[in-house]
Structure 1
Amino acid sequence: MQLQQLAYFVAVAETRHFTQAAESMRVAQPSLSKQIKALETELGAPLFSRARGNVTLTPAGEALLPLARRMLADADTARQEVAELAGLRRGRVRLGATPSLCAGLLADALARFHRDYPGIRLHVEEGGSRDLVRALARGQIDLSLIITPLQHDDPSLVTEEILRENLVVVSPSHRRAGPPGDDMAIRRPYVRIEDLRGRPMVMFRRGYDLREATLAACRQAGFEPRFAVEGGEMDAVLRFVEAGLGVAVVPSMVLDGRPGLTGTPLAPPGLSRTIALANRKDVEPTRAAQAFRATLRTFLVEAAHEGTLPQGVELIAE
């Protein structure tokens, strides 16, 4: 039995509506229903009657409701007292992250941390892994989500690999007007790196992780990519692709909410990259930073179990 399951149960009991409860808990409705079902299975009795679309408490649900409210209240009291003792009523976390993560799942993890520790100020530094490693070394940030392996391993860093994400070739979703053969859209189940030979590409700025990964893959295949435009950050690169300037190699997670773009997987073995959480070895992370690291781990484990990680992203270890 988990506190989160009890919180979902109380929310449904109070709203008598699964969708409204999911909205109030800021979770997807299928995830909430799945957790309620897991709680019912563990307790060995249904907690809600769903006859004719009406949600009502069963006798088991009626018995559990006051106990669940008390347990949640006690947990909240304990959390506040421990947070006060550990100095987490105030403070800050300075976090570095790559643009693809800032545009993807990081926002939800930050929201959970802010909810649990509203007195902690959050500062996010967005950049490529090289820049973020330098910021760590200078003491400008406490923790950073970076891409590994680094070109030059830094013995002053402690890194923990947490996620693996697939890279895809992104192109416009629809054909655009232009000269014959100028269609940038890719309409195949997969594409090989060799297929990018001679094809105009949109390339990230120098020092960007994805630039180095793309160049290395193309050179290993025996050719130099042809740039239609280069020098952008993630949002700019995606917009340039959408406008039909060329294709690009990007993480699959950044395509959520962009119907104008299509991501085509690379042929096996494909390309992937590993995301790690890094901090300086010679400096113990602050208590607030340690709390964020724990929150992030919990968030990712729950998302992996519930199947809500972005497409193409997998948890490395729990």
Structure 2
Amino acid sequence: MRLEELRSFEAVARLGHFTRAADELFLTQPSLSRQIQALESDLGTILFQRDRTGVAITTAGEALLPIARRMLADAEAARHEMDELAGLRRGRIRLGAPPTLCVSVVAEVVAVFRRAHPGIDLHITEAGSRALVDALSEGALDLALTITRPSVRDDPSVELVPLFTEELVVVSAADTALAPPEGVPSRLTITELARLPQVAFNRSYDLRVATDVAFEAAGLTPVIAVEGAEMDAVLRFVARGIGVAVVPATVLLGRPELRGSQLHDPSLTRTANLSRRTTVRSSVAVAAIESTIFDVVAGLAHESSGLGGRITPVG
């Protein structure tokens, strides 16, 4: 098996179409077809069923796909390692994180890292923690920040290093003229929260799942003003006084347009982790951004002093 054949196979499997895969790889379609045929001949099995509308991956192809992705990721890591021996002057890092961390911790990490290493390209993937762990396992990511959730399966190929715990807080517009007419107390219960108009996240968010579970456990049905928004939209809606939202405490850092209230009875917390592959040694660039992540997290305790200590670094 040659790497270019595996790369072609992965593109066809992901896109479900030979022409689109050929365009992405800057190959002619006959060249791409020859590579797939050579790979099938080498493996002695059919990887795709072809018809007029496109291609469908076979059972053998499904089995090969995660292996191919790991092999391509390992080859990419080897290339990066050689590049980085020049002193972190060039290379690429693929970092993943949930949207709730991208708008806070990851934004600061990227800013600090880019100032120190402008020659390193950063590719950011936003997704839920379960998808990020799967991507790490397949070698599609070099590193990820994830949230500890029961829905995220244990994977022996992925190590989770706890970074910090944080409270989930209720945010409202800092401008009191835009806040709900009845006001938002500095400390409120889940019952009091349920009576306020809320800007609810898309149901794909782990954060939405956590709050829905809390309401259900208390036998409450919250008042929903807007539902289905993504992180940036939720924060904008709240700042405009459309409703309140439950967000991690880190989201409040550097956002004077938002006001945070403590949630209790029950209080909700979450743990953020640094997730990395155990089967591959970290490249020089990945090790450098890991160090940056730890440094940024270490500064959270000081920055969160104005949030009542709602962010606690682990370790």
With the shorter chain as reference, the TM-score category is 0.5 to 0.7
C-alpha root-mean-square deviation of aligned residues, in Å?
2.8
Gap change, CA 1:308 and 1:199, over 3 Å in 2: closer
Q: How far does the alpha carbon of each residue in 1:234-255 deviate from its partner, in whole angstroms, 9 at most, with x for none? A: 1111122233332210112222
Alpha-carbon shift at residue 229 of structure 1 (Å): 1.5
| Residue of structure 2 aligned with 1:193, choices 166, 184, 190 | 190
Q: Is the 8 A contact 1:174 1:185 kept in 2?
A: no
Deviation string for 1:29-78 (max 9, x for gaps)? xxxxxxxxxxxxxxxxxxxxxxxxxxxxxxxxxxxxxxxxxxxxxxxxxx
2:136 partner letter: L
- Give 1:21-60 correspondences, 5 Å limit: none
Measure how far apart 1:175 and its partner are: 4.8
1:134-283 aligned at under 5 Å gives the runs 134-155=134-155, 156-176=157-177, 183=181, 185-186=183-184, 188-267=185-264, 270-283=267-280
TM-score calculated relative to the size of structure 1: 0.63
* Aligned with residue 298 of structure 1, among 295, 299, 305: 295
* Deviations 1:151-181 (CA, angstroms, capped at 9, x unpaired): 1423242111111111111122345589xxx
The structure-2 alpha-carbon separation of the partners of 1:300 and 1:259, relative to structure 1 and needing over 3 Å to count, comes to closer
Q: Runs of 5+ in structure 1 lacking a partner?
A: 1-82
Structure 2 alignment gaps of length 5 or more: 1-82
1:174 & 1:112 partners in 2: Cα distance?
31
Identical-residue share of aligned pairs (%): 44
Letter in 2 for 1:171: S
Question: In 2, distance between residues paired with 1:277 and 1:184?
Answer: 40
Cα distance, 1:87 vs. partner? 6.2
Mapped to 2, the partners of 1:214 and 1:314 lie a distance apart of 21
Aligned to 1:315: 313
Q: 2-side partners of 1:299 and 1:247: how far apart?
A: 28
After alignment, is 169-178 or 109-118 more displaced? 169-178
Structure 1 position 226, deviation (Å): 3.1
Q: Deviation per CA, 1:129-155, whole angstroms, max 9, x where unpaired?
A: 233234323432211111113414232
Contact 2:129/2:152 (8 A) holds in 1: no
Contact preservation (8 Å) 2:167, 2:269: yes
Aligned pair count reads 229
**8 A Cα contact 2:93 2:121, kept in partner:** yes
After superposition, the Cα gap between the structure-2 partners of 1:158 and 1:84, relative to the gap in structure 1 and judged at 3 Å, is closer
